[in-house]
Structure 1
Amino acid sequence: MEIITGVERRRRWSVEEKLRLVAECDAPGSSVTRVSRQHDISRALLWTWRRQLRRGDLGGGTGQGFLAVTLPSVLSDPALPDGDAGLEIVLPDGLHLRVTARTDLDLVARVLTLLRR
């Protein structure tokens, strides 16, 4: 049991701290529950920050954010020639972007950044 003898104050989180904690939730082997317990913060607060980041309300224009990605278990199609196997990114507005092993990933990042504006 915890007895609070003084006035409890709200903690203030910088944008950088929020981004770090949200990213920590998505690290391999981690979860929102694990991060909330480790940093003694509410799971609901972490979910709120994740939602804000997805909407673009968090991050101060840093260009960081989440895109929903679904990866098939096998990224190759036997009908495609070698080297053309890859994945297709479908954005919420319906735009499709096909990425193969030959695709310049820097170009993909620039295109996605431009599309998010």
Structure 2
Amino acid sequence: MEIEAEVASAHTRSRMSARSEVVEVVTRGERRRAWSVDQKRLIVTQTMQSGATPTEVARRWGIGTGLLYTWRQQFYAGELGQPPVPAPAFAQVRLAPPVEPEAAPPDQPLARPDTAPATPGRMEIMLPGGAVVRVGADVDGAALRRVLVALASP
């Protein structure tokens, strides 16, 4: 009987993809957590903080993102013991007519010297901090995204 075990063992060792003979069984020692309504509200409100992502919050609390998104839906519907909350919406965008530079005498500067003549496809993005980004129709989207992220960071 020992000879057969040695032959089988030698056979499996000679293969590169041989599996280990040790099997580890991991049992779950704890039950599912029961989350109170207050805890759910706390966790959901953490996902709404500036710079927070639902994935980071879920990892921090040791829960799955699917459960977190379910709680967020319940939160917005008012099912977590608070009045319904309107879901976040996109920012309102208004298109303004192009601004033509004012005619000024040659010896006086223009009212806004940073205003260039309007061209087709040109965009002007006014950021909350007061910065203004003007781009043409041929701007690279990835480059614009990097600039906007850099301007938004403190």
Structure 1 length as normaliser, TM-score?
Answer: 0.51
Shift of 1:10: 0.6
Distance 1:26 1:72, change over 3 A: same
Q: Does 1:20 align with 2:42?
A: yes
* Larger Rg belongs to: 2
Alignment of 1:49 onto 2:77: no
Task: State the number of aligned residues.
Answer: 74
Higher relative contact order at CA 8 Å, sep ≥6: structure 1 or structure 2?
1
Give the letter for the 1:45 counterpart.
L
Q: Please say if 1:72 is aligned against 2:92.
A: yes
Q: 1:8 aligns to what?
A: 30
- Cα distance in structure 2, aligned partners of 1:31 and 1:40: 14
Q: Residue 83 of structure 2 aligns to which amino acid in structure 1?
A: G
Indicate the RMSD between aligned Cα atoms, in angstroms: 2.8
**Deviation digits for residues 41-69 of structure 1 (CA, Å, limit 9, x no counterpart):** 10001000011112222x22x22524333
Percent of counterpart pairs with the same letter? 34
Q: Is the 8 A contact 1:53 1:66 kept in 2?
A: no
Distance 1:3 1:38, change over 3 A: farther
Residues 52 and 5 of structure 1: CA distance in aligned 2, closer, same or farther (over 3 Å): same
How far residue 6 of structure 1 moved from its aligned partner, in angstroms, is 5.2
Asked if structure 2 preserves the Cα contact closer than 8 Å seen for 1:54 and 1:65, the reply is yes
What secondary structure sits across from 1:37 in the alignment?
helix
Structure 2 residue identity aligned to 1:33: T
